[in-house]
Structure 1
């Protein structure tokens, strides 16, 4: 192998990579937050017993889960301006990621909701809680505890999905790497470093997820 490794390009351009990593993390966290809200609302519609509401939520889930994320991203960034709705690259990235994450989390949360003993729901209604209050206070906490590992896995996938948004010139970590590569042609060093940064981000998220589980969800496992 006649290749001379040179990581000086990383040392000289670390602020650019750091800025890209920060934008990646910021977009992912915003998308996950909004996507989880969509997922909870979607699961409420899916389990509402109303055929129309269930059908709307199911159609949304089927469309998003059975089309490529890249097409969803292009539709929002390039397609919506034709209807008068123009978003920046970062806004389109967050919206598309949130919609995609919301579809998957809808089914994950729905599975958790359906795992809850119906007796708990009936007991909540019997003491005067509204259906919404029962869903929010009695169903959602243990349901999320049941599916928490699956949600964490989906969160990690959402973070990794952010690498696609460089296709619309959102200046994330992958975009920063492509920019450096086009000027230095040190592909091995650049993409090896980017892979390590993504790995570090995922490890940080896993660590935070573990702390969140200990703080908020461990109790729910023993209340069931």
Structure 2
């Protein structure tokens, strides 16, 4: 068989639509998982046993159930009890909830790694707990967690390919349709492979740049 990418030329707009849908879903899911992760991470480091336990249960559940099972529950299961959500919203919500469980662990680790002396100094200065968390603890924890958070976000992008199983024509779903129409799965999935590699590599580079920017003062002080 001759390798020929030219046969995909007329399908490029359709594939780009799928890529744009993937980008939208992943962007919203990253934001959602970060918000959830921050809330749950704060709960897991809270002095309240109830909040701590609730957060731990959430993390245990969504870290130990296959994502495709979670996705099918939201998309195929919830309508049985009268809750109907479109495929795109379902995908974003499912990715956000699943990603939030992993993000919360990263945030929690970042919070626990903070020097207790920093927090004690802030308390002595008379700052409120909410102010200390918002202005001191959270920025330090996020700065230390950028790289592991980047790994979580890259994994979300890769996991988004499963959204094609609920009829969402994101990048993978679009590629499946093109492959079935052209009978050229090798070329189609080669392009898909390259597209995901380029997307995740770009995100990794951006995360690395952000990490260096946020930690530039530490690097300068070490010189």
Shorter-chain TM-score: what band? over 0.9
**Residue 111 (structure 2) pairs with residue 88 (structure 1):** no
**Residue 11 (structure 2) pairs with residue 7 (structure 1):** no
- CA RMSD after TM alignment: 1.6
Query: After superposition, where does 1:9-24 map in structure 2 within 5 Å?
Result: 9-24=7-22
What SS does the corresponding residue of 1:49 show, helix, strand or coil? coil
Shift of 1:133: 1.4
Please tell me whether the aligned partners of residues 142 and 221 of structure 1 are also in contact (alpha carbons under 8 angstroms).
no
Structure 1's consecutive aligned runs of 4 or more residues displaced over 4 angstroms after TM superposition are 220-223
What SS does the corresponding residue of 1:204 show, helix, strand or coil? helix
Please tell me whether the aligned partners of residues 93 and 165 of structure 1 are also in contact (alpha carbons under 8 angstroms).
yes
Q: 1:221 to 1:43 in 2, by over 3 A?
A: farther
Query: After superposition, where does 1:1-224 map in structure 2 within 5 Å?
Result: 3-219=1-217
Please tell me whether the aligned partners of residues 145 and 220 of structure 1 are also in contact (alpha carbons under 8 angstroms).
no
C-alpha separation between the residues in 2 aligned to 1:45 and 1:36? Answer: 14
Deviates more, 1:10-19 or 1:139-148: 139-148
C-alpha separation between the residues in 2 aligned to 1:47 and 1:222? Answer: 31
Q: 1:61 to 1:40 in 2, by over 3 A?
A: same
Q: Structure 2: state its 5+ residue gaps.
A: none
Shift of 1:9: 2.7
Aligned length: 221
Shift of 1:181: 1.2
Q: Normalising by structure 1, what TM-score?
A: 0.93
